[in-house]
Amino acid sequence: MEEQEFLTQVKSCHGLILKLINLYAYSVTDRNDLYQEILLNAWNGQKGFRQEAKFSTWLYQVAINTIFTINRRTRPVSYTDSIEQFVIPVAPQTEQREEVHQLYAAIRQLADVDRVIITMHLEGYANPEIASVLGITANYIGVKLHRIKDQLQNILKAS
């Protein structure tokens, strides 16, 4: 894949990458570093992209692997920045923005893999696609999604 084609593909997935980064990185500096690390790993690994899946699915997997690798190397820090700068507004209504903020805050409380599963689900990925990214069965994804939704409901009720 040529550089321009690669950049075009990455640009089409920009929002997806930002959503993932927002769920795992806590400061602006960490988010910028993580974004660059993901792009570097994607660029270096593009020869391994066999086009059996969509580019966005492959990039999602690269991003997740990068995030998990970096998180193993570093200790988590407390979240201090506003989440709203990375939320793509659904509508200008204040209530909806607050609901999105609460949902993201609840998702941040989930385990790492659960965050990936629910984020991909919310992005419209089918269970088999999510399963292929994580290397588990589609049936297990269905079970996990049910449990994750229950967990999110409990978190949102408590807040």
Q: In CATH terms, is domain 1-81 a member of 1.10.1740.10?
A: yes
Q: How many residues does the chain have?
A: 159
Tokens of 140: 């297990």
Which residues of the chain, if any, have pLDDT below 50? 77, 79-92
Residues 23 and 104 sit within 8 Å (Cβ to Cβ): yes
Write down the domain spans for the chain. Answer: 1-81, 90-159
Q: What is the pTM of this model?
A: 0.66
Q: Which CATH number fits domain 90-159: 1.10.10.10, 3.40.50.300, 3.90.1300.10, 3.40.50.150?
A: 1.10.10.10
Q: What percent of the chain has pLDDT over 70?
A: 85
**DSSP assignments along 143-157, one per residue:** HHHHHHHHHHHHHHH
Question: pLDDT tens digits, residue range 9-40?
Answer: 889 888 888 888 888 887 888 888 999 999 99
